[in-house]
Every structure is written in structure tokens, then in C-alpha cells.
Structure 1
Amino acid sequence: MFVITLTYRVDLEEIDAALADHIAWLDQQYTDGVFIASGRRVPRVGGVILARDVSTEELEQRLAADPFRSRGLADYAVTEFVVSRAADGFESLLS
């Protein structure tokens, strides 16, 4: 599993202008079964994505296609971890 943290590099006006394209890209990742959760950070300085069932190389290729990244609007930090314990109802996250 991966935690991807996005940090915006530009003003929110530029982020909002690219948001529809970013959401379309997110939708495809959910359709492909790679992303399991995503959302804005609070305060709104970026976002967080949870991803699974993908190699590091494939994830990097997918992230490169994100309009926020390809347009230089956000920086990305990727952390891979092994889920060894999960709360009731989230057992499907176990590695």
C-alpha cells in the first residue's frame, strides 16, 4: 500500500483551474482499482491519496499523468508500507 502526499506549489487559483482535469484523472485511478481513498489536506495545502495493488514503477507512471504533476502544480511524496493490522471492516487492506 502507498500513501501519496501532494503539496501545492502554486496559488489555489491555479489549482482550481486544473481541478476538473485532476478529478478526471482520479476517477480513472478509482475505475482501475488502484486508488482506495483521496482528499484534501487541512488546511488546503495539498492532498492525500491511498493506493494499492500496484507496483512502485506503475504508481510512478500513473502519478506522472496527474495534471497537477505534469503541469508542475504540486510536489509528490510517496510512502510505501505493509498493512499488518486493520480495524474491523477494513480487513481487505491487510497485505
Structure 2
Amino acid sequence: MFVLELTYTAPVERADALMDAHVAWLDEQYAAGVFLASGRKNPRDGGVILAAGVDRAAIERIAAADPFSSEGLCTYRITEFYASKTVEGLAGYREQPPA
């Protein structure tokens, strides 16, 4: 599983101008079954996405395709972790770390 933290590197007004394209990109990843949750950070200096079902190389390609990223509005910090404990609704995403 991955936590994608994006941080704006440009004024938030530039992000607002690309928000429709960003949301369309998010929708594509939800439809593909990759994104599980997403939203703005508070304070509003970026956002957070929870993703699963792909490997590190794929998640890096997906993040690079975000209009916010490709237009130079943000940077991504990608953290991979093993979701060894979850709520029941996310039980299908539980993983055990390698031995």
C-alpha cells in the first residue's frame, strides 16, 4: 500500500486552475481500483492519496501523470507500507511484511 503526499510548489490559485484535470485524473485511478481515498491537507498546501494494488514503479508513473505534477505545481512524497491491520472494509488490502 502507498501513501502519496503531494505538496504544492506553486500558488494554490494555479492548482485551482487545474483542479478539473486533477479530479479527472483521480477519477481514472479510482475506476482502475488503484486509489482508495484522497483529499486536501489542512492547511491547504497539498493533498494525500491512499493507493494499493500496484507496484512502486507503477505508482511513480501514476503520480507523474497527475496534471499537478506534470505542470510543475507539486512534488510527491511516496511512502510504501504494509497494511497489516485495517478496518474490516479494507481487509482485502491487508499485507504481511516479508520475512
Give yes or no for TM over 0.5.
yes
Q: Distance in 1 between matches of 2:53 and 2:22?
A: 21
List alignment gaps of at least 5 residues for structure 1.
Answer: none
Deviation at 1:91, TM superposition (A): 1.8
What is the TM-score when the length of structure 1 is the normalising length? Answer: 0.95
Deviation at 1:87, TM superposition (A): 2.9
Once superposed, what is the RMSD of the aligned Cα atoms?
Answer: 0.9
Q: Distance in 1 between matches of 2:2 and 2:20?
A: 24
List alignment gaps of at least 5 residues for structure 2.
Answer: none
Q: How is 1:1-80 mapped onto 2 (pairs within 5 angstroms)?
A: 1-80=1-80
Q: Distance in 2 between matches of 1:55 and 1:88?
A: 23
Query: Which segments of structure 1 move beyond 2 Å, counting only runs of 4 or more?
Result: 87-90
Counterpart AA for 1:36: L
Q: Distance in 2 between matches of 1:44 and 1:4?
A: 15
2:85 corresponds to 1:92: no
Counterpart AA for 2:33: G
**CA offset digits 1:48-77 (Å, max 9, x no partner):** 000000011111111111000000000100
Identity score, percent: 49
What is the number of equivalent residue pairs in this alignment?
A: 95
